[in-house]
Chains A and B, each alone.
Chain A
Amino acid sequence: MRVKEFLLSFLIVAGAAFCFLGSLGLARLPDTFTRLHGPSKATTLGIGCMALASLVWFTVTRREPSVHELLVIVFVALTTPISAHMVARAALHRRLPVWRGEAPPQ
């Protein structure tokens, strides 16, 4: 089953790559607000890809239908923006320095 192996490898590698890029953004970008962009988007897609890989592997290879990975994807997609929003809001209220551009509105 070449197709299945290609699909699984692609999903796992893409998921790992997106998670890595999100973490790299957290490390490289200059201020709190820009740093939030990496993890909030990349982890959602990265974890989504890995959960899909798990779903495909268990369902196709082990012949045990496995769908609770979908819940992981849904809950990550629901909760990640909330934590990002809370961090951004706390940063606004504490008036943390902004790297470039005008000061945040109050």
Chain B
Amino acid sequence: MPLRRLLPHPWRSLGVLVLWLLLNNSLHPGHIVLGAAIGCVLPLVTARFWPSTAAIRRPWRVVAFTAMVIFDVIVANLRVARAVLGPVSRLRPGFARVPLDLTTDVGITVLAQTITLTPGTLSADLSPDRRTLIVHYLDEPDAESVVAAIKSRYERPLKEIFG
């Protein structure tokens, strides 16, 4: 199949095309042709730099997860605002160790990013064996509740998406 040989990574090619059109802020036919050409060549040239590919098992879950994260980012900002404007001496920061059930690189990366963007927590380090994420929290009564919240709210849906 020649089409398969020309486009071994159709989703990456489509992503490059969309990125190109967004960057140029245009739907001019010239840009579509140029973007499609770059979309064909770039995935071929960079194929060996991609460490691993993630299979998304349930695409509709990605939409629900993204919406939840956007909502949580807004909540996170209101909480940081309260912490910053309130008396600093009342904060109870600390570190929590989150044991990971996710095993794929992409899954762990997305979880760490989400933790940093969402209320009160910041991913600080990943253990060398990739099974524990060290998380810093700004104002929580104890580490156990942080771990439980992260696992139930973010890790479980990611586990369903990435497996």
Contact = CB atoms under 8 A, between A and B. Distances in A.
Contact of A105 (B25, B77, B95, B113): B95
A82 B23 CA distance: 22
B88 A44 contact: no
Given A30-B88, A67-B22, A101-B92, A41 B77 contact: yes
B80 interface: yes
B150 interface: no
A78 interface: yes
A2 B125 CA distance: 48
Contact of A24 (B25, B84, B112): B84
B104 interface: no
Interface size of A as a range: 35 or more
A91 B123 CA distance: 12
B22 A45 contact: no
B83 interface: yes
A9 interface: no
Contact of B83 (A25, A77, A102): A25
B134 A71 contact: no
Interface size of B as a range: 20 to 34
A84 B76 CA distance: 15
A28 interface: yes
B80 A104 contact: no
Interface string B76-103: 1100110111001001111101000000
B93 A81 contact: no
A33 to B, nearest CB: 5
Interface in B35-94: 73-74, 76-77, 80-81, 83-85, 88, 91-94
Most-contacted residue by chain B among A45, A70, A80 (CB, 10 A)? A45
Interface string A81-96: 1101100110110000
B19 interface: yes
A42 interface: yes
B35 to A, nearest CB: 13
A69 B117 CA distance: 19
Interface in A10-33: 18, 21-22, 24-25, 28-31, 33
Contact of A33 (B77, B117, B136): B136
Contacts of A24: 84-85
10 contacts: A21-B77, A28-B88, A37-B136, A44-B117, A67-B25, A68-B23, A71-B22, A88-B136, A102-B95, A105-B95
